[in-house]
Amino acid sequence: MQEGAVGAGTGTVAFGWKGGIGTSSRKLPDTLGGYTLGILVQTNFGGVLSIDGVPIGVELGKYYLSDAVGSLNPKSEIQNPKSADGSIIIVIATDAPLIPTQLKRLARRAGLGLARDGSIGGNGSGDIFIAFSTANPGAAKPTGIASISMLPNDRMNPLFAATIQSVEEAVVNAMVAADTMTGVDGYTAKALPQDELVRILKKYGRLREPPNSKQ
């Protein structure tokens, strides 16, 4: 599947940079059920971009309210006070047998993944999270009595963790895949500078050269 500035993600912005469509997934080990969980995000929100705990937004001088705390970084760019707002949509799909109340609980964990990316859930942000399961395909049959299987609540923690990790990763994937675009009235949304991103991640010890990379 294409990621970045495609489809509904064409006009989106994330953390002041070009946003887009991002995906990610996790497969639980067989000991935890072997279930698969997939995420699709349409990034359109703001805050202070963080990747793997690294303050990317601060390092690049582009983050929400950077004008108010610009002394933190001399490169900071003044941001629109509403730049933390937007309407991010997150879809969570799984083959784990979950009933509607459990899917609602799963959807709520998407916000924790966004928080790990640096989202503040702005006042005007229309954050929409939905979740569905492909299990129990006969539950909606119009006649007879339907039987369904259900994962015990005590076994949902691995799915919660998978959701949080996948949302966090999908947002980054969307931004890394997006290119700079110019839209209506000449407004330009710049792509996240990947050379700078790599430099910063190395600075914080998140990226290291492979042992034989210089041979």
pLDDT of residue 133 exceeding 60 = yes
d(CA 118, CA 110): 13
Rounded Cα gap, residues 108 and 94, in angstroms: 15
Bridge-based pairing state of the strands 128-133 and 89-94: parallel
List of residues 6+ apart from 199 with CB closer than 8 A: none
Alpha helices in the chain (DSSP H): 56-60, 100-108, 110-117, 157-177, 194-203
The pLDDT score that the predictor gives to residue 61 is 87
The proportion of the chain whose per-residue pLDDT surpasses 90, expressed as a percent, equals: 68
Question: CA dist 7 to 2, 152, 193, Å?
Answer: 9, 37, 22
Give the pLDDT score at 64.
Answer: 78
pLDDT digits (tens, 9 = 90+) for 25-36: 999 999 999 999
What's residue 75's pLDDT?
Answer: 46
Q: Is 35 exposed, middle or buried (0-12, 13-18, 19+ CB in 10 A)?
A: buried
Using 50, 70 and 90 to split pLDDT, how confident is the model at 146?
confident
Max mean pLDDT range (74-78, 98-102, 141-145): 98-102
Q: What is the mean pLDDT of the chain?
A: 89
- Residue closest to 24 by CA, chosen among 41, 43, 49: 41
Residues carrying an active site annotation: 87, 125, 127
Could you give the domains of the chain?
A: 7-180 (3.60.70.12)
pLDDT digit string (tens) for 44-75? 998 899 999 999 999 998 877 766 554 444 44
The pTM for the full model equals 0.88
CA 161 to chain centre: 14
> Does 144 score more than 60 pLDDT?
yes
Residue 128 identity: I
Show the tokens assigned to 27. Answer: 């497969």
What was the pLDDT predicted at 77? 46
